[in-house]
Amino acid sequence: MMRSLFAGVSGLQTHQVRMDVIGHNIANVNTVGFKGSRTTFKEALSQTMREAYAGQGNRGGVSADQVGLGVTLGSIDVNHAEGGTESTSNALDLAIQGTGFFILSDGGRNYYTRAGMFDVDGSGNFVSKVNGMKLQGYDVDPFGKVIDTGGHTQSLSISSDRRTISPQPTNTVEYGGNLSAFTDATVITDPDEDSQIRRVAMVYDSLGGSHRLVTTFTKTDANKWGWSVTLEDDVNQDERGIGSAADRIISFKPDGTVDTGGIGQVTIPSSMLDPAGAANLEFAVDFHSIRQFSESNSVIVRSQDGFPSGTLDSLFIDPTGTIVGSYSNGLTRNLAQVAVARFENPPGLLKSSDTMFSESVNSGSAINGMAAGEGYGTIMSNALEMSNVDLGQEFTNMIITQRGFQANSRIITSSDEMLQELVNLKR
């Protein structure tokens, strides 16, 4: 038999494998996070008909005579180049810009993917929409700071105690702006005049009840302002239990900054709070940021640190992978952080089902970290990474592969015709 028959067969076989890879790439052209592959060939072993020998005397050297025995598969390489991104309306759709992989777990081993389609199941677990595997990451402490676990990840979830925020009573109310130095100190009775300034702050009791606190500033002398507080619904009642007279004087230095009286204490008895049942509302009023300049009055309530109870309304994820919860009371809390893994040799990963990869001896072990760290890329929310398959290149490869397959089939038919001629010699 002729060697060319077997060379042609090897060519058919390898081109079939290449077409299989091309078909798989094209089939996944719209698969989120898919990484295309390419096929390379290598020459098969050659049969040496005559060894090479060196030149001697007046004769030159002669090269070896070798006949190739066809082609074989060289490698199937995964292209880990980053695909484009598409915008979505789901905050839990994530894409990694740069290197890195999301980590999924089936409870026994970890898998790695670029397909960032996630959701929260009925038990509060963050899971992949593709296969239900749990997303891995890091927990946070009560202050929202990531707990350092040395790269050891855990399944992310929203526990029931993080679905609500307990109320916090107001502890401090801070004021800022300006109290005019030109205000007439003799006019102290009409609230509409410049000598009296009224500002309203919303404060909260121990049950999360809100109360409109009215603070009235009254010019009493040069560089001195008195202040008083009451609840808006009780402005005509006695202000018993709301500080002594000495506590209610703010003195300013000649440069317009607060001299004395920058901090006052306010106690609102529980009997004045509605609904009943809350503890006495005790808090500090901070006037240190107020100035007394010659400009017009512009004093404001800058902040207060109390808030009512709240329930989790929505989630969003920042570029570091921090999962942030937005609550009905307007507050936000860090709930967890998505982990990202990288490898020394990503092409060495093994492809698994569901657009996932697993470790191999050639990829190296996963190095877990956080997005925005060196070598981990950043995370985009409301986005998905598209397949990195180039259709133009794949169709071109398909044409080349088809022609290569046809050419190898011609080797077989031509070799068959030569053998037929040899058989016909007997006729």
d(CA 153, CA 138): 6
Q: What is the pLDDT of residues 152-188, one digit of tens each?
A: 999 999 988 889 999 999 999 999 999 998 865 444 4
Using an 8 Å Cβ cutoff, are 144 and 255 in contact? no
> pLDDT value at position 427?
66
- Considering only CA atoms, which of 398, 400, 394, 384 is closest in space to residue 25? 394
**pTM, full prediction:** 0.80
Q: What is the pLDDT of residues 55-100, one digit of tens each?
A: 888 888 888 888 878 899 999 999 999 999 999 999 999 999 998 9
Please say if the pLDDT value at position 194 is more than 80: no
- Considering only CA atoms, which of 53, 60, 48, 46 is closest in space to residue 7? 46
Please say if the pLDDT value at position 189 is more than 60: no
> pLDDT value at position 244?
46
Computed on alpha carbons and rounded to an integer, the radius of gyration of the chain in Å comes to 39
Q: What is the pLDDT of residues 372-411, one digit of tens each?
A: 888 899 999 999 999 999 999 999 999 999 999 999 999 8
Domain spans of the chain, in order of start: 3-49+65-80+388-426, 89-165+311-382, 172-304
Question: Which of 20-34, 139-153, 182-196, 365-379 is the most confident on average?
Answer: 20-34
Q: What is the pLDDT of residues 279-289, one digit of tens each?
A: 999 999 999 99
> pLDDT value at position 1?
63
Please say if the pLDDT value at position 312 is more than 90: yes
Cis peptide before 275 (omega within 30 of 0): yes
Please say if the pLDDT value at position 239 is more than 50: no
> pLDDT value at position 206?
93
What string of H, E and C letters represents the secondary structure of the chain?
Answer: CCHHHHHHHHHHHHHHHHHHHHHHHHHCCCCCCCCCEEEEEEECCEEEEECCECCECCECCECCEEEECCEEEEEEEECCCCCCEEECCCCCEEEEECCCEEEEECCCCEEEECCEEEEECCCCEEEECCCCCEEEEEEECCCCCECCCCCCCEECECCHHHCEECCECCCEEEEEEECCCCCCCCCCCCCCCCCEEEEEEEEECCCCCEEEEEEEEEEEECCEEEEEEEEHHHCCCCCCCCCCHHHHEEEECCCCCEEECCEEEEEECHHHCCCCCCCCEEEEEEEEEEECCCCCCCCEEEEECCECCEEEEEEEECCCCEEEEEECCCCEEEEEEEEEEECCCHHHCEEECCCEEECCCCCCCCEEEECCCCCCCEEEECEEECCCCCHHHHHHHHHHHHHHHHHHHHHHHHHHHHHHHHHHHHC
CATH number of the domain located at residue range(s) 172-304 in this protein? 2.60.98.20
Higher pLDDT, 323 or 150: 323
> pLDDT value at position 208?
93
Q: What is the pLDDT of residues 196-216, one digit of tens each?
A: 898 999 999 999 999 988 898
